[in-house]
Amino acid sequence: MNHYAGATTSRRGNAPVCDLRSDTVTQPDDAMREAMVAAELGDDVFGDDPTVTRLEETLAERTGKEAGLFLTSGTQSNLCAMLAHCGRGEEVIVGRDYHVFAYEAHGASVLGGLALCPIAVADDGGLDPAAIAAEVKPNDSHKPVSRLLSLENTHNGKPVSLVRMGVAISAARKAGLSVHLDGARAFNAAAALGCEVADLAAPVDSVSLCMSKGLGTPAGSVLVGPRDLITKARRWRKMLGGGMRQSGVLAAAALHALEHNAPRLVKDHDRAADLAALLRDLNAGDVTQATNMIFFTPANGENDALRARLAEHDVLILGGSSGPIRIVLHRGVDDLAYDRAIAAIRSFYG
Quickly state the pLDDT bin for 255 (edges 50, 70, 90).
very high
- The predicted pLDDT at position 8 comes to 56
pLDDT confidence bin for 288, thresholds 50/70/90: very high
Mean pLDDT, rounded, for 109-128: 98
C-alpha to C-alpha distance for 331 and 268, rounded to whole angstroms = 7
Is a pLDDT exceeding 80 seen at residue 16? no
How does pLDDT run across 61-89, given as a tens digit for each residue?
999 999 999 999 999 999 999 999 999 99
259-271 average pLDDT score: 97
pLDDT at 190: 98
Which amino acid, residue 22? S
Q: What beta strand segments (E) does the chain contain?
A: 18-19, 67-71, 90-95, 115-119, 145-152, 178-183, 206-210, 221-225, 285-290, 293-298, 315-316, 325-328
pLDDT digits (tens, 9 = 90+) for 224-246: 999 999 999 999 999 999 999 99
pTM of this structure: 0.94
> What's the rounded mean pLDDT across residues 90-107?
98
Q: How confident is the model at residue 319 (pLDDT cuts 50, 70, 90)?
A: confident
Q: What is the pLDDT of residue 183?
A: 98
Using N-to-C axis directions, what is the helix angle for 186-193 and 265-281, rounded to 10°? 80
For the chain, give the mean pLDDT. Answer: 95
Give 148 or 15, the one with higher predicted confidence: 148
Read off the pLDDT of residues 174-190 as tens digits, 9 standing for 90 and up: 999 999 999 999 999 99
Structural domains of the chain in order of their starting residue, each with its CATH number: 18-27+264-349 (3.90.1150.10), 30-260 (3.40.640.10)
Burial class of residue 163, CB neighbours in 10 A (0-12, 13-18, 19+): exposed
- H or E element that contains 259: helix 248-260
Q: Given this model, what pLDDT does residue 189 score?
A: 98
Q: Is the pLDDT of residue 7 over 70?
A: no
320 pLDDT tier (thresholds 50, 70, 90) = confident
- Cα separation of 151 and 165, whole Å? 8
8 A C-beta contact, residue 250 and residue 217: yes
Res. 4: pLDDT tops 80: no
Structure confidence at residue 214 (pLDDT):
93
Q: Percent of the chain beyond pLDDT 70? A: 95
